[in-house]
Structure 1
């Protein structure tokens, strides 16, 4: 066996977020002729430890190697003495290493948006999230929550429109370019840290995407914290959703209409900097 698709696999590894440090090992594995092989990759991200096992296999008429999937063992706070959280990510979902870590770390607080291909090679759009509170399958994986474009009843979930419906003033989404950046950030499985004006003072806020209800949530502190409170939950009205969850719909009428109260004359530089809570 040769290394005829080494360059292709190097590109795949790089785009997945595994860098270029495994090139020599990858070439050796390709030359070995093994039908299946794996490569280990470790990362420390903000105090957390992520251990990846990348699975390769050969197939097709040319018998070339391809990246089949990768496993992620996530150790919060780098505590490798504890049993890690585990998930397998098939390559077909196009999820990167960084996105996988965020999905496993934050659970249903985040989701990634992907354009994939079905069996007929037709493109379709979907949101993917991991329910880390759900029962694991026989392989040790948590349930995937996917929201296919048909889920929304033919009317696409527009993250920017959901963000614009927030009544609480948010400094980081006041202008079109900021909205675009916020949408991109949320689609990659991030929790968006923002500056908000709430109860008359300036403080931190955190925005998460809610694909199940075609909306977003605004928290007073990081949503991973048990005492985090939802300030606003923007969701598409039931009659505009392909599927509605009656138990989880939240009315927006409880949110204080601070946009009307403060805009368009919000002066972020002069507002109180007292956060009023732990970061």
Structure 2
């Protein structure tokens, strides 16, 4: 057995999100020297079951094996039909199992990718469930850096408590970039309200859910973005309206009364 090849594959499997549980099976299959083999792995995210099949193929010129792809079957408790997608492995920044699950849930993931010329670039990717390729996989939509979605800037428009702490802010941004539906503490009318957010690069915004994971409509989300600043504006407007209601004559009488009192 090629030990260096085994170590490389072991790390590749581990850092693609499958952990170390498959090491034994991986080694056994390499020792058999079969042309191809598949390893199976199950994971659960809440009540959602993710069944993965990892595909390996032996080189025709040497004893080296390659981890080519893994197929994911997503079965949701409240959905009779399952969803399938194959994710391909390359030398770059592979899509992890959790990121694959997030993509299949419809959320966007931020990745460092490599183009045909070998140049690296950053892009948000998201599944297009309305279009499939020749192999039956859902196509991936890309939102490159020049698309104009700045996650940090979008977050700053919302009254989120975690943004006040640099470490918590970084953790929040990193979690959203992985495609997670992330909890966040919103400051509303002086109260702390737990809600959930996800990055939505297509519309250059956030999608916000309440603590029961019910999606807020556009109007509610806009109010959240205005936050406590809106309350301040409303208070200022009330004061201005009060002054307007006095009218020119009333204001003149008040001035005269204050003048007599001073005399």
Change (3 A) 1:177 1:4: closer
C-alpha separation between the residues in 1 aligned to 2:5 and 2:15? Answer: 15
Instruction: Say which SS state the counterpart of residue 98 (structure 2) adopts.
Output: helix
C-alpha separation between the residues in 2 aligned to 1:89 and 1:37? Answer: 17
1:258 corresponds in structure 2 to 227
Instruction: Say which SS state the counterpart of residue 194 (structure 2) adopts.
Output: strand
Correspondence list, 1:219-258, <5 A: 219-220=209-210, 225=214, 228-230=216-218, 257-258=226-227
Change (3 A) 1:84 1:257: closer
Give the CA deviation at 1:27.
1.4
C-alpha separation between the residues in 1 aligned to 2:101 and 2:87? Answer: 11
1:128 corresponds in structure 2 to 125
> Is 1:34–2:34 an aligned residue pair?
yes
Change (3 A) 1:256 1:150: closer
Structure whose alpha-carbon radius of gyration is higher: 2
- Pick aligned residue for 2:194 from 180, 204, 213: 204
- Pick aligned residue for 2:109 from 88, 109, 112: 112
Aligned residue-pair number: 230
Give the CA deviation at 1:11.
0.7
- Pick aligned residue for 1:158 from 140, 145, 150: 150
Give the CA deviation at 1:88.
0.9
Give the CA deviation at 1:199.
6.4
Instruction: Say which SS state the counterpart of residue 103 (structure 1) adopts.
Output: helix
Change (3 A) 1:120 1:59: farther
- Pick aligned residue for 1:217 from 192, 199, 207: 207
Correspondence list, 1:72-83, <5 A: 72-77=72-77, 82-83=80-81
C-alpha separation between the residues in 1 aligned to 2:155 and 2:134? Answer: 38
- Pick aligned residue for 1:185 from 175, 178, 185: 175
Give the CA deviation at 1:177.
2.5
Give the CA deviation at 1:78.
8.7
C-alpha separation between the residues in 2 aligned to 1:162 and 1:232? Answer: 16
> Is 1:147–2:143 an aligned residue pair?
yes
Change (3 A) 1:24 1:200: closer
C-alpha separation between the residues in 1 aligned to 2:7 and 2:62? Answer: 16
Normalised by the size of structure 1, how large is the TM-score? 0.71
Give the CA deviation at 1:100.
0.9
C-alpha distance after superposition, 1:108-157 (max 9, x if no partner): xx21111122222211111111134x2444433223111123434xxxx4
Contact 1:9–1:67 (Cα < 8 Å) also in 2: yes
* Structure number with higher relative contact order (C-alpha < 8 Å, ≥ 6 residues apart): 1
Give the CA deviation at 1:16.
1.1
C-alpha separation between the residues in 1 aligned to 2:140 and 2:225? Answer: 34
Normalised by the size of structure 2, how large is the TM-score? 0.75
Instruction: Say which SS state the counterpart of residue 77 (structure 2) adopts.
Output: helix
1:266 corresponds in structure 2 to none
| Structure 2 gap ranges (5+) | 233-263
| Structure 1 gap ranges (5+) | 234-251, 264-279
Instruction: Say which SS state the counterpart of residue 257 (structure 1) adopts.
Output: helix
Q: Which one is further off, 66-75 or 172-181?
A: 172-181
Correspondence list, 1:5-16, <5 A: 5-16=5-16
C-alpha separation between the residues in 1 aligned to 2:9 and 2:128? Answer: 31
Change (3 A) 1:87 1:256: closer
- Larger helix fraction of residues: 2
